[in-house]
Amino acid sequence: MFSSVSGTSNSTVSKGISGLASGMDTDELVTQLTSGTTSRIDKQLQEKQKVVWKQEIYRNITTALQEFNSKYFSSSSALDITSAKFFEQYALQSSSNKVALSGDLSVANNVQIESISQLAAKAQASFSVSKEITSAIDDSKLTNIASADALNGAKITLYLDGTYKTLELDTSSYNTDTILADFRDKLKDAFGEVAVKDSSGVVSMEQAVDVKVTGSTGNWKLEVVVADKSSNFAVYEADRDGVLGTNGVFKDIFPRMLNKHTLDSTLGELGVSQGTHTMKINGVDITAKDTDTLGDLIRNVNANVTDVTMSYSTTTGLITLTSNNSGATESIKIEGSATTAALFGKKADGSSGVTITPTAQEMARGQNARATVTVNGATMQVERATNSISIDGLNIELKDTTASSGERITFSATLDTEKVTSQMKEFIDQYNAIVKQINDQILTRPDRDFQPLTSTQKKDMSDREIEQWETNARAGLLYGDSTLSGILSSMRTALYSVTEGVSGVMGDIGIQTGDYILSGTGSLSKNNNSPGQLSFDETKFRTALAANPEKVKSLFTAQSDKNYNPEASAADVAERFRESGFAARLSDILRRAVTTSNPKGSLLEIAGLKDDRTDTSNKLTTQIQSIDARILELQKKLATERKRYLNQFTALEKYIQQMNMQSSMLFSDSGQS
């Protein structure tokens, strides 16, 4: 280890000339002559470094205490331990999953839902714009059965919900009935049957994909029928010309033709006539052209009609308008025109939608939630625009209606001792971490052999050696610190002191503390690795909480009639302390230590805090500034001393040089004579 430091400031002063005449190393001599001042500078630099380190340690502790305070002693925190709610965590049992509860669950025991006759709903109207796959049949291509039948042997590939099937047609014995029957049989073999529910709710099995032909010779028409309207179907391709497209038998059906529009479909494809049109939705004018896509229209409506959202499903082929809020006052109104009739003329259930009549036509209206609720024996009818009902801090979310015959919903809320115990353990763990952090500073004795390194010393050390040295040098800087010791002492006293008006002590509920100082023999009492830390008997706490939750709550949250006042008299402070629970006492201790409001906390007064006005206005910063001033004066003194000594050595060199010249001249004269 280094036993002395020196030479940290010589490099700041210009060097003199070496002793050419005298042979003396004048720079080294000046360094030795000014070593006293240099040593004083080094000591001041070391002292400054200690103060800087002290400030960092204080600030680290301050930050930890502030974070602890914000988490457990702030009214805005869900874990505010000064609030009764910390201890009022409830486990809920409900007779039905048709409601969800939150908020103050302790009220749930006094509430019953007699019935839920109706849920709140948004106004919503859906309109079908599904695309039918139909085609006129060019039967002129089917007249020569023997040789020119375009369909005989043709293979057509069809797509249904991710499955591709290829059908080979046989029209060698052509007539309308046989080709249709053959085509239908092949479709049934390929795609099977599906269950379909009609408007009355009756379910029947229907062919998944079917065809029907209507008309007469020269005017036949083919229609592809997809039983499940949500299915995606396409006539994918044919293996030869003359089957699909303009020159084909099915001239209106083209390869890859889907039974659904997409967001890229133009409004013209949906039936809107050519040109620019204005439509009115919920009183707002929307301008659109036949060349606009369905996606363009949706973006236009959603950007301008503030109370409605428009969407389109390629699965169902439905355009849907939905009010942004629920309730009976919400509605969907569309003014009739040729344009709106083309887009919104057919509802999802097949009934008529918007007509061309130029009036605002209501397509849908929202509804309120309706429920019958009993609170503390009093039954009332409740109607809300949303499915949320609040009763004495208890929030009830309605999920479903109850049976028409009546389905009473009851609740049972019991104290969740496991959750409270878990929260308490977390609190105590963090409390103990704070205690250990402070103890590590005030109980560690400094090693006087380790002082802050000078720049000269660092030159001869590796980075790791410097790091290890400075770790040892920082240790013990706050040994026995009275402010930090006082904080720990207050915390311990807050725990074991009896609260007036509250029966029992913290030990009754499984929380105790060891001594916060070293015993006279130098050992820690109660085998506690960090004195002052709390021990927590979870079983004892859980049992006490279940048996007498009010007692547990009061031991922590009891409040004094005296409000917190940092400038209160000693008598008022003592009275507030006696009447307060453990959490309230801790809150006061933390306020006095780390509050950023005036008057500032004691730790901020000592060391300040970054991003606070105390960053530069605190005792340690003032001390650092004072040391800087002393260093500056010593550096000026060093410069003056070096200059004086260098001038003296320079004069000496000149004198010796003159003497040497005279001696040489005398020697020369004596030789001539």
- What secondary structure does DSSP assign to 232-273, as a single string? -EEEEEESSTTSBSTTSSBTT--TTEESS--TTSBTTTTTPP
- Residue 50 Cα distances to 37, 43, 194, 444, 461, angstroms: 20, 11, 85, 15, 20
- The segments of the chain whose pLDDT lies below 70 read 1-23, 139-150, 171-177, 179, 199, 404-406, 514-530, 669-673
Place of tokens 């025109």: 337
Rounded to an integer, what distance in angstroms lies between the CA atom of residue 503 and that of residue 558? 11
- Do the beta carbons of residue 441 and residue 478 sit within 8 Å? yes
Exposure of 600 in the CB half-sphere (CA atoms within 13 A): 17
- Residue 330: the pLDDT is 97
626 alpha carbon, distance to own chain's centre: 46
Question: What count of other Cβ atoms lies within 10 Å of the Cβ of residue 79?
Answer: 15
pLDDT digits (tens, 9 = 90+) for 35-70: 888 889 989 999 999 999 999 999 999 999 999 999
Rounded to an integer, what distance in angstroms lies between the CA atom of residue 195 and that of residue 202? 10
| Angle ∠(447,451,452) on CA atoms, nearest 5 | 140
Q: Tell me the Ramachandran region of residue 137: left when phi exceeds 0, alpha when psi lies from -120 to 50, beta otherwise.
A: beta
As given in the structure block, the two tokens for residue 104 are: 């103050």
- Residue 48: the pLDDT is 94
- DSSP character string of 640-668: HHHHHHHHHHHHHHHHHHHHHHHHHHHHH
How large is the angle between the packed helices 417-442 and 482-496, nearest 10 degrees? 150
- SS3 assignment, position 505: coil
- Do the beta carbons of residue 224 and residue 244 sit within 8 Å? no
Place of tokens 């839920």: 116
What is the DSSP pairing of strand 394-398 with strand 511-513? Answer: unpaired
Helices then strands, counting H and E runs in the chain, come out as 15, 26
- SS3 assignment, position 629: helix
pLDDT digits (tens, 9 = 90+) for 113-134: 999 999 999 999 999 887 778 7
pTM of the shown model: 0.62
